[in-house]
Every structure is written in structure tokens, then in C-alpha cells.
Amino acid sequence: MPRRIALLGLAGLLLGSAPALANPLDRGPIADFLNVFRSQAIPRETVAWTGKEKPGTIVVSTRQRRLYYVLGGGAAVRYGVGVGRQGFSWSGTKTVTMKKEWPDWRPPQQMLARRPDLPRYMAGGQDNPLGARALYLGSSLYRIHGSNEPETMGAAVSSGCIRMTNKDVVDLYDRVRVGTKVVVRD
């Protein structure tokens, strides 16, 4: 009898009748693996870098809609990004103060005032606007994060955050440490 109960419990899990457990295809290592195979409109590439920033620095060009991770030796990794739409773009220097994998999302009050239809909370996962990873920038409301809308890369569409494809943000996340300098410029 205990074996039958265990088999019924396993069948319930497989059929989705156990809402307390998250779908492993939605977040975590399996979701990370599946994101590797998604196509990208703006491919990541290593490019020549002539800036004066030290290796390990992130530089975002909102005009180019590109993010550069400075490698040193005259090279940087260039990623396509989505940036703040008109009225929401910004520039300045921040520091990565926290990193999260498959972060939960709570829209800030400023965003809820503009969009009261938004959920107050969304668990991390493929449908979450923060995507697979988030790099939190200082005490600001801004983040560099993944996106469940890869078609927005290369566009000015966000409320100020820097969006990347989930595939790219996982790559950047693995390179970046807390304390990394982030320079956002026009």
C-alpha cells in the first residue's frame, strides 16, 4: 500500500496536480539549459575596445543599445540590449550590489502608479519580466536583467532597466561580481 501511495503521489507531480512545486522547465538549471538554444536577433560577440575602463567594468551605450563587458587587452564582449524608452533613459555610474538567479518581481510603486493593471508580485520563471538573472544597481530601482521579450533587444522600451536576452544575461551574470562598476552613457 505505501508503494501505491508513493506512485500516486509521483503521478500527481508529473500531471501537475501539486501546485506547491515549481515547474522545473520554468526556472532553474533545466530552464537555463533550454535558454541556450533560443535564437538571438543581436548576437553576442567579442569586439575591439579602446575605452579607458578597467577589465571587469560594464559599459552601457543607450544610443547604440549595446552593453560592453570589458575584458582587457583591447577587447570587450558586446551584447544587444533594450534600454529605457523616452523619458525613462538615464546615465551615470552605478555598482552591482546584488545578483539573483530567476528573481521574483515586485513592480516598484512608480511603475504601479503608471500601470495599476500589473501584478503586485510574480514568482521567478520564464514568464517573469526579470528573466533568468538580475544584477541590481546600487540603491536605484534599475537592474540589468533578462527578458521574456527577446524581440525588444535593440529597442528603447523599458522603464529604465537594461534588458538582455536570458541567454546573454546568464553569460554576463557568470562574468560579473558584486562590486562591479557599471557606466551608463548616451
DSSP calls for 11-73: HHHHHT--TTSPPTTTSSHHHHHHHTTS--SS--EEEE----PPTT-EEEETTTTEEEEEEET
The number of angstroms, rounded, from the C-alpha of 50 to the middle of its chain's C-alpha atoms is 27
Those residues with Cβ within 8 angstroms of residue 37's Cβ, 6 or more apart along the chain or in another chain = none
* Per-residue model confidence (pLDDT) at position 60: 98
> What pTM was computed for the model?
0.81
User: Which of the residues 31, 96, 153, 161 is marked catalytic?
Assistant: 161
User: Which of the residues 145, 152, 153, 165 is marked catalytic?
Assistant: 145
Mean residue pLDDT of the chain comes to 86
Domain parsing of the chain, residue ranges: 27-182
161 is catalytic: yes
Per-residue pLDDT tens digits for 83-110: 999 999 999 999 999 999 999 999 989 9
37 is catalytic: no
More confident residue, 4 or 32: 32
Binned at pLDDT 50, 70 and 90, residue 37 comes out as: low
Tell me the CATH architecture of domain 27-182: Beta Barrel (2.40)
